[in-house]
Structure 1
């Protein structure tokens, strides 16, 4: 098991006994690009995870080892700053956040690695941030609440990775619960769990193989377009703080002033928030077919109105629509690559995977990696078995 190998590597490198922590990646059933618009999201933690072996080292140096890459970074505790080595920034960004809060972070050693495929839209970065925070919170008895861990992870991503992400990814990594999806209100931070029946249906992820960089200009551009829409609407509706407060009727009344691009961006977000609420009701009723229809509608909006899809993702969704036993499919994550999430009847999973791989190869000449995901608990300690 990878976690065992990481613990062994830690003992070999640092001759000490580590604390072991696991932090999951996440899927998002529906509610994409709504989090930074103070809307609703519906994520879950999954069994693609990052593992950490961490111990204090009685020195004033932080020593980080990326197990999968076999790369090391060392830095003095009083010189924590963004590095050229990108993976290190997710860990050091966390240290910086603790230091900002007045926590004296002593030297420590960390070996980490995992099974979250990078660039697949499963939030490996949030898993790294939250796992590191959880470990340091344990070792330093800092007393951070779970929501504080999620928010500090988000702040680390903003300041060190320069991605202005919403809170969803970190929240899901911390608050995941086995067998349930969790609806987060990204304004109030209220949340509610809804059952996800994995006996009738499985989550299958299809990786387009297209690597996306969320730090790319497009992600931050979408944020700015949404903010422009809010600025226009606020002139007429002073109560509007974010797109969360906007109705379709209000949008339509000011379509000309918003302009075609900003109007489409805003329309997508308003409709997606409605889809999250509808999906929660359908899950409570056990209506997987209805949930699937909301997912297809979400993908169409991401493709046509928000324009964050790509040919490979669109082909994967089309393949799903022609496959037996598929309830629904959509692109997941920031976009421009990564995975589609597919809800597939349990007995049809093997056939779906075979069909999708053959079709993807035939239509685009590309191999297809698929992952079956199980919904698990959020960040926690790990026993070294």
Structure 2
């Protein structure tokens, strides 16, 4: 067990909760991070995504209070936050605590009563790696607080509350994908999610003789600095100029040539943003089809094409990410691409089982030669979504 794994262990959380409150927690809840196999920057364009939940998770030990106070201790940062519920307003809390405060705020804003809560949290989701540690934290806090106060709701409704927390309280204009998969993850499956109809469809990931390798490039993954918001705004502008409700509508008319549609946009940046979204939606469906046929070579080619589109048309990669993708795709992987919002974070690859260790060795050597920080890597299997642990 790594240090990060131990921080999320029920035993440590229970012990820390007793230390904080002098009493036992009323329960322990957990929610996972995620890898997005394909379908990047499509979720806020009413598009298609194909993520799966990771075994890495955030866990919280929690109990009720009756004094309208939120008190939270993070084992990872060794910090404690205490704030009155009446003071929970956007901008009142920063850092890791903002995601916890945001979730309690979102529940209360939805009309659900919360009179106070003690929380001790720990996470094994790598921080700043593009594996959605924020959604894992939001969903773990959300299901814990809701159950403590007797609020029952479907998983997708909780995901929407978590999205609102991140959008309106934290200030990160994310789509619904991360919170959805943290709530709805299934062992052995990815989830094809249509963000326009809000329809989730489990997709078996039976990768005979292959594995999904996740490489944390160690390039800092920061999305609240304006770049993510800028991409979203560019897509909204393009849709408006084209007379569309969302860019997803460009996938509805098979008779229309994308190039012909793009001639209506005189801004080259907008042309490239739109081209990525439309072609990425197509790649999601093509990947589901390829995986269903066991055609790993085609699935790998689609991952490579997704990365190229994210690099050239969406411009969200960085040198560390591009180097990892290049080494993986040229040294034995079926294909590889950046996963997550971009500007750092992780690269995923579909690789033959016997190529995992050689590829890790190759990437480590390439990073050393380029003067980059040493990357870390692990193989990932789809795991369960948010749940009560004890």
Q: TM-score range by the shorter chain?
A: over 0.9
- Which stretch of structure 1 is more off in the superposition, 68-77 or 349-358? 349-358
Deviations 1:91-150 (A, max 9, x none): 111111111122221111001011111110000000011111111121111111111100
Structure 2 segments unaligned to the other structure (5+ residues) = 1-5
4+ runs deviating over 4 angstroms = none
| Distance in 1 separating the partners of 2:149 and 2:299 | 43
Q: How does 1:59-78 map to 2 (within 5 A)?
A: 59-78=67-86
Q: Secondary structure at the match of 2:265?
A: helix
Alignment counterpart, residue 15 of structure 2, candidates 8, 18, 24: 8
Deviations 1:143-202 (A, max 9, x none): 111111000000000012101000000001000000011000001001111111255222
Q: Are residues 1:265 and 2:265 paired?
A: no
The alpha carbon displacement at 1:254 in A equals 4.1
Deviations 1:279-329 (A, max 9, x none): 0111111111111110000000000001111111111111102222x1110
Q: Secondary structure at the match of 1:257?
A: coil
Q: Are residues 1:188 and 2:197 paired?
A: yes
Matched residue count: 377
Structure 1 segments unaligned to the other structure (5+ residues) = 235-239
User: Is the contact between residue 48 and residue 373 of structure 1 (CA under 8 Å) also seen in structure 2?
Assistant: no
| Distance in 2 separating the partners of 1:321 and 1:182 | 25
Q: Are residues 1:212 and 2:216 paired?
A: no
Deviations 1:183-226 (A, max 9, x none): 00001001111111255222211111111211121111111111
Deviations 1:28-65 (A, max 9, x none): 00000000000000000001110110011333211111
Q: Are residues 1:341 and 2:348 paired?
A: yes
The alpha carbon displacement at 1:231 in A equals 1.3
Q: Secondary structure at the match of 2:283?
A: helix
Q: Are residues 1:226 and 2:235 paired?
A: yes
| Distance in 1 separating the partners of 2:276 and 2:152 | 39
| Distance in 2 separating the partners of 1:299 and 1:293 | 10
| Distance in 2 separating the partners of 1:253 and 1:85 | 42
After TM superposition, the score normalised by the length of structure 2 is 0.93
Corresponding residue for residue 24 of structure 1: 32
Q: Are residues 1:110 and 2:114 paired?
A: no
Alignment counterpart, residue 139 of structure 1, candidates 135, 148, 152: 148
Alignment counterpart, residue 330 of structure 2, candidates 315, 322, 331: 322
Corresponding residue for residue 283 of structure 2: 275
Corresponding residue for residue 246 of structure 2: 242
After TM superposition, the score normalised by the length of structure 1 is 0.95
User: Is the contact between residue 179 and residue 198 of structure 1 (CA under 8 Å) also seen in structure 2?
Assistant: no
Corresponding residue for residue 314 of structure 2: 306
Distance 1:198 1:65, change over 3 A: farther
Alignment counterpart, residue 169 of structure 1, candidates 173, 178, 198: 178
